[in-house]
Amino acid sequence: MTSTPAWLKSILTRPKAATISVTAPEPAPSSPSAAPLALLAAALRAAHGASPDELAAAIADNKARPDLDPELVDEDGFPISSARCADAGNEAVSEEIREWLVLSGMAELQLGEAHWRALTLGTAVMRELAGEALAQLLPAEGAPPQLRLLALLPTDWTPQQRQAAGLWFNHAVAQSGWPVAYLGLIDVARDATAASSIRQCAADSQLPQERVATLLIACASHIAQEAVEQWAASAALSTRARSQGLVPGEGAAGLLLTSLESARQVADSMFAQLYPLLETRRQVSIDSAKRAETPRITALAERAVQAGGVQLPDVACLVADTDHRNGRALELMGLACAALPQLDTTTDVARTGVATGSCGAVSFLCALALARNAVLLNQAPALFMSNDDPFTCTMALVGLPLPAKAA
């Protein structure tokens, strides 16, 4: 283990602000997914990378951090930091969506700046993954698998906005060439999480039916002055005087998922295996906890790697959706120091939440995309962790697929 990074030292020595303790609901037992899943492909658009490779490199070089935003200001008129993505301003894509809305009878749909930015980023990811689905899953002869689209959107979007976004993504995939008869849009609940959606994919992959593949994406944007003002009004915005607040971010990330059996039928494809997602519930919100619950988190990590038949010393990389906030950063580094001493904390531990800013499920799927990328690059297991939620910590092993007989 290398010496403690400077950013961690600053957290450890920083005076603690007064906090209010909030008690969580009774902890619920963690239930694993029905089965492991194959991660056939991953795509992302973030402020510091338009692919898993680019984002991983930026994080490794310590360049994937929020910058002062050229347009957004706090309640006192001072510039704030954000994770603004250049790809979100693609006017050609926005115009394409506008024309489609008119032709689809939704010309009156109200969309703000943040909606347009999120849809533009989500479209890029959806089309990239649709291309992967065509290349890997569309057979030269015979029927392809059913391709399901699951889009995780910000919870403050209206039902009409959510429906329009889903239909647009469905149209974008059909445009890419996937047969419409084998394409289906899944209505995702407003409060659905990335973890619950992946668990459902795992369960559905085992049903006795035709082959199924899932294109799961998340997109969000809070790069708009209106969003900043709402966060400031609720004292949630990160400012010079409130360092533990949220940093406005935006991005999109997605995964192409299928069962291991289906993945093995795809010739010449390299894929990673996502083992069951496990979780633990904190007794107190991580935002008000006095110290990291390292023993609890370490126990969860041990359970996660055991699902893949490996041990913690076998893990070559730790990727999490952790952001800049003290409690989450300390929890992640506590796990790395206590359970994964073989890792170099400057190169083998990646935090996508710092890179993406606050943008919901996007940082979760970005972390999984980077974990998949690391597994294929290193040919060794990676540990995925999500601790963005104040009460729940989620973990899973991502590894190379076992031989069919051993799986």
Cα 138 to Cα 182: distance, rounded to the nearest angstrom: 10
Q: Span 6-33+275-399: which CATH code?
A: 3.40.47.10
pLDDT digits (tens, 9 = 90+) for 127-142: 999 999 999 999 988 8
Domain chopping of the chain, boundaries: 6-33+275-399, 37-264
Which CB contacts under 8 angstroms, 24+ apart, belong to 373-380? Answer: 373/42, 373/52, 373/53, 373/56, 374/56, 374/316, 374/317, 374/319, 374/398, 375/272, 375/317, 375/399, 375/400, 376/270, 376/272, 378/316, 378/317, 380/314, 380/315, 380/316, 380/317
Indicate the burial class of 73 (C-beta count within 10 angstroms; 0-12, 13-18, 19 or more): middle
pLDDT tens per residue across span 204-216: 888 776 689 999 9
Which contacts of 32-35 are long-range, i.e. CB under 8 A and separated by 24 or more positions?
Answer: 32/276, 32/277, 32/278, 32/307, 33/198, 33/199, 33/202, 33/203, 33/276, 33/277, 34/199, 34/202, 34/203, 34/205, 34/206, 35/202, 35/203, 35/205, 35/206, 35/259, 35/260, 35/276
pLDDT, one tens digit per residue, over 85-140 is 999 999 999 999 999 999 999 999 999 999 999 999 999 999 999 999 999 999 98
The span from the CA of 359 to the CA of 253, in Å, is 11
Determine phi and psi for 114, rounding to 5 degrees.
-65, -35
> Any idea which architecture 37-264 has in CATH?
3-Layer(aba) Sandwich (3.40)
Angle (CA) 108-187-391 rounded to 5° is 110
For the question of whether the overall pTM of this predicted structure is more than 0.95, the answer is no
The pLDDT score that the predictor gives to residue 26 is: 35
